[in-house]
């Protein structure tokens, strides 16, 4: 399976310098791209499709309510999504340009990556993975449910059928509560989610759990235990869904020990090992795959993004 990358310099966000007060590295996408350019030179462009326009409101309405989409013209609603209430005092035009529009570009990137993956490829969108967005609101710095939107559109366009099995492998440190909310009753979507149950949004409360592979982890879990659990549980999950027509992989870098919000204790080298293991498993099953960067709040985040992209290009290019 060949590798493709999807990227736009519009993925970076900015809000008059205030973004420096948030642990999220607002420029990590362009920093990761710069590392790839340094490693591969202009050759990296041969593997990359650049996103030419943000996602349209019409496409957003395929999964989000009209009321929610319209609310994102208001500063208060935007500030609520990124959980920085003082931003409600800033004119919405600045917030839309600096926050909402970058999210729209990244969402368009996930849709483009999904369309390309279904041609028989592993496609890494160097952004996206907004797994805390719900149909009627966003939270946890996630404005739009990009993977849900992409899946909905390719289904609607008959690129895959409504009954074809699709999987989400979510290895961000935080549980993908938004993504899961769309598929509570959709048996064709399988979800694998290792998450820190002591971090936002907390432990999933199931009295009759129909998602056995949404697996809580304790805060501070280290590299050895994390990788052992992953290497035991992911093959079992994939064996259950080995005939999947499409896979999404949220390759969150916030599991690294230096991350301020992830709460886990996984080494830099072990994050790289995690990503290689997941990709190798999916490649062996020849499942078309879309990778997204999801969360990451450390100074190492952009380097880990570049490490994964580099591995894909070197091994699958």
Q: Which residues are catalytic?
A: 132
* Closest residue by Cα to residue 10 from 128, 124, 89: 128
Q: State the alpha helices, DSSP H only, in the chain.
A: 28-40, 57-60, 66-71, 75-81, 92-95, 101-117, 146-156, 177-182, 223-240, 268-284, 301-316
Residue 317, CA distances (Å) to 48, 72, 299, 310, 314 in order: 11, 39, 28, 10, 6
What region, left, alpha or beta, does residue 43 occupy, with left being phi > 0 and alpha being psi -120 to 50 degrees?
alpha
d(CA 255, CA 264): 5
DSSP 127: S
Is there a contact between 279 and 317 (Cβ–Cβ < 8 Å)?
no
What DSSP element (H or E) covers 189? strand 189-196
- Cis upstream peptide for 201 (omega within 30°): yes
Q: DSSP letters along 14-79, please?
A: -STTGGGGSSS-TTHHHHHHHHHHHHHGGGGGGGEEE--SPPPHHHHTTTS-HHHHHHTTSHHHHH
């Amino acid at each position: 399976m060949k590798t493709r990358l999807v990227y736009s310099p519009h993925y970076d966000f900015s809000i008059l310098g205030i973004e420096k007060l948030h642990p999220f590295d607002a420029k990590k996408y362009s920093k990761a791209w710069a590392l790839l350019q340094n490693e591969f030179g202009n050759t990296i462009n041969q593997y990359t499709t650049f996103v030419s326009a943000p996602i349209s409101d019409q496409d957003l309405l395929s999964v989000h309510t009209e009321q929610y989409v319209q609310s994102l013209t208001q500063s208060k609603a935007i500030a609520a999504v990124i959980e920085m209430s003082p931003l409600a005092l800033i004119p919405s035009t600045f917030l839309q340009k600096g926050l909402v529009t970058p999210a729209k570009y990244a969402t368009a990137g996930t849709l483009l990556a999904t369309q390309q993956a279904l041609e028989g490829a592993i496609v890494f969108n160097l952004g996206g993975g907004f797994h805390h967005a719900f149909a009627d609101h966003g939270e946890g710095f996630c404005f739009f449910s990009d993977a849900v939107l992409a899946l909905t559109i390719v289904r609607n366009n008959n690129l895959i059928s409504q009954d074809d099995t699709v999987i989400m492998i979510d290895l961000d440190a935080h549980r993908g509560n938004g993504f899961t909310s769309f598929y509570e009753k959709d048996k064709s979507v399988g979800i694998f989610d290792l998450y820190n149950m002591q971090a936002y949004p907390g432990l999933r409360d199931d009295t009759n759990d129909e998602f056995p592979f949404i697996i809580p982890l304790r805060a501070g879990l280290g590299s050895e235990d994390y990788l052992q659990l992953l290497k035991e549980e992911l093959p079992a999950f994939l064996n259950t869904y080995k005939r999947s027509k499409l896979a999404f992989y949220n390759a969150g870098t916030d599991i690294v020990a230096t991350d301020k919000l992830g709460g886990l204790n996984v080494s830099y080298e072990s994050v790289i090992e995690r990503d290689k293991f997941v990709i190798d498993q999916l490649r062996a099953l020849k499942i078309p795959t879309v990778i997204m960067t999801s969360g990451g709040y450390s100074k190492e985040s952009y380097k880990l993004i570049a490490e994964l992209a580099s591995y894909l290009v070197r091994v699958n290019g």
